[in-house]
C-alpha cells in the first residue's frame, strides 16, 4: 500500500473535515447518507454518488491511520 503512504496527512485531515462534513447545517451529507444507507433508503444514483463523494477522504484517512498503527 505504498500509494497510501504517499498521501499527505494534512490533505486527508483537512479534506475529511471539509468534504466529509459539508454542508455543516442542518446535517452533514455524510451522516445523512450513512443514515439513509442503514435505513435502506439509499436508492437514487445521486445519493449513492454523494455517499461516495463525501465518504472517500474520511475512508482514506481511516485506512491510512489503521495502516500506520498496524504496520509501525
Hey, where are the domains in the chain? 2-71
- Residue 4, pLDDT score: 87
Q: Is the pLDDT of residue 1 over 70?
A: no
Helix (H, G, I), strand (E, B) or coil at 40: coil
pTM of the model: 0.81
- Residue 2, pLDDT score: 84
Specify whether the CB–CB gap between 72 and 61 falls below 8 A.
Answer: no
Write the pLDDT tens digit of every residue in 15-69.
999 888 878 778 888 888 899 999 999 899 998 998 898 899 999 999 999 999 9
Q: Is the pLDDT of residue 72 over 80?
A: no
Amino acid at each position: 500500500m505504498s500509494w497510501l503512504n504517499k498521501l499527505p496527512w494534512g490533505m486527508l485531515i483537512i479534506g475529511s473535515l471539509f468534504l466529509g462534513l459539508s454542508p455543516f447545517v442542518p446535517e452533514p451529507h455524510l451522516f445523512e447518507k450513512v443514515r439513509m444507507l442503514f435505513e435502506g433508503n439509499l436508492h437514487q444514483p445521486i445519493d449513492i454518488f454523494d455517499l461516495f463523494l463525501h465518504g472517500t477522504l474520511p475512508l482514506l484517512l481511516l485506512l491510512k491511520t489503521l495502516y500506520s498503527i498496524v504496520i509501525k
